[in-house]
A = this chain, B = another copy of it.
Amino acid sequence: MSCETLPGFRACYPENGTRRSYIFEHWRTAAESFNFQEYDAPVLEPLELYIEKSGEEIVGQLFHFEDRGGRSVALRPEMTPSLARLVGAKANSLKRPIKWFNIGEHYRYERPQKGRLRAFYQFNADILGEAGALADAELIALLVQTLESFGLGAGDFKVRLSDRDLWLLLLAAEGMDAENSATVLGIIDKMERNSREKTLELLAGVLGDSAEAFMETVASVVAIRGFAELEQYFKALPLEGALLETAKSRLADWRVLLDALEHSGAASFVEIDLGIVRGLAYYTGFVFEAFEATGEGRALAGGGRYDDLVGKLCGQSMPAVGFAMGDVTLGDLLEKKSLLEVAEPTPDFVLVIGGPAERAQALKDAASLRAAGYCVEYPLKEVAFGKQFKDANQRGARFAIIYGSEELESGISKVRDLEAGKETDYPRADLVELAESLFGEGLQ
């Protein structure tokens, strides 16, 4: 057949659908326990929305086209620009802080590879309208609890926590202007993926002869893991006046964030690591990424503060912090840790039907049981008794109800417990009451 699934897209058979639902349910449960509310936005958006946010270079990574009405449109590569528009449009009427989440699919035209597809689901959670570090802490606590809810522990994942504000202070102390700072942050962001030589070459393009010395500074900063060390390092920087005040106040923010993470029980998953910069230029403060504890693989999640973006995109200034967690890397990790062994749903009852005459009562009972929420299956054609029992077992059904002429005549419901392998006759009465009693007996 010529019409295969496109590269980087996934067909989802029921056995995988069960896993997908399992991941989505955990995402939703975690978000709701933190009192985040679910929103959604179109899958197709004006291309301009992404260019305004990320610049022209984003276009090369998008599925974009001109629609029949001549509009330049793109399949959404991420949620944040749509979120900014939704929030911006009702900025004055929404109660703050705005705590919203979404579970949705996103699309990027990239080379499909391990942990990266062209269509992937993301769990997005954002807090808007609150600038303080307690909002960042709430969001990181949600990230940690979400991963913990799958059964992942401190040995399985870590959250690397960094701060673009501290980096900007450091670069200011080095005498760098805003433009060079942005370029250098971009270089630091890619440092882990590039060779030492490559990084040095890139830095020399900005800093000339001082690149080598600067690289040593960077190396010592990204090695910092403790807050005492971090505080000491930044207190020792040659900063004066307003910059000095900024540094003091920023270290106080760090204290608030780390204390809150400690009290929330998230601290054991969080590691100070200024090696994280997050390439996207719109991040403005704390940034973080979650990784498998071994450091292998792509990020499980990433996020940070973006206080300027809503104002830039919709003219309504609004502080914001958020993260996105993808389903691909997470699914791979859960599978590796045997935490994605989700049982497929099985019917509560299979109705074993003797023949056309017995079908009338069976269909009636099926309708009642289904309306009461029980999962009921029966054959859609005439099938021999033995084969029906075999099917019921294959389907993993809990109970079979037998509709033979004898049962109908004598007014009984014959129920076979397919796990215990024993049959019981009940006087034919309200089947839903019988089901309640059976599942009361059967499942407790």
Contacts and interface: CB of A to CB of B under 8 A. Distances in A.
Interface string A1-29: 11111110111111001101100000001
A135 B127 CA distance: 49
A88 interface: yes
Contact of A394 (B20, B95, B367): B95
Given A38-B21, A42-B9, A394-B95, A49 B360 contact: no
Nearest to A35: B377
Interface stretch (A172-180, A188-196, A258-266, A291-299): A258-266
Contact of A14 (B14, B21, B38, B43): B38
Interface string A355-370: 0000111111011011
A266 B368 CA distance: 12
Interface in A61-76: 63, 65-69, 71, 73, 75
Contacts of A377: 35
A97 interface: yes
Interface in A369-392: 369-371, 373-377, 380-381
Interface residues of A, number: 100
Interface string A128-153: 00101011001001000100110000
Contacts of A21: 38
A17 B149 CA distance: 24
A69 B378 CA distance: 47
A145 B375 CA distance: 13
Contacts of A302: none
Total copies of the chain: 2
A107 interface: yes
Given A32-B375, A127-B380, A394-B95, A73 B6 contact: yes
Contacts of A67: 6, 63, 109
Contact of A33 (B1, B41, B259, B370): B370
Contacts of A371: 33, 145, 148-149
A40 to B, nearest CB: 4
A93 to B, nearest CB: 10
A412 B1 CA distance: 69
A26 to B, nearest CB: 11
Contacts of A32: 345, 375
Given A44-B119, A263-B362, 13 more contacts: A4-B46, A4-B85, A5-B41, A6-B45, A9-B42, A34-B375, A35-B347, A43-B75, A44-B107, A95-B394, A132-B380, A263-B363, A264-B364
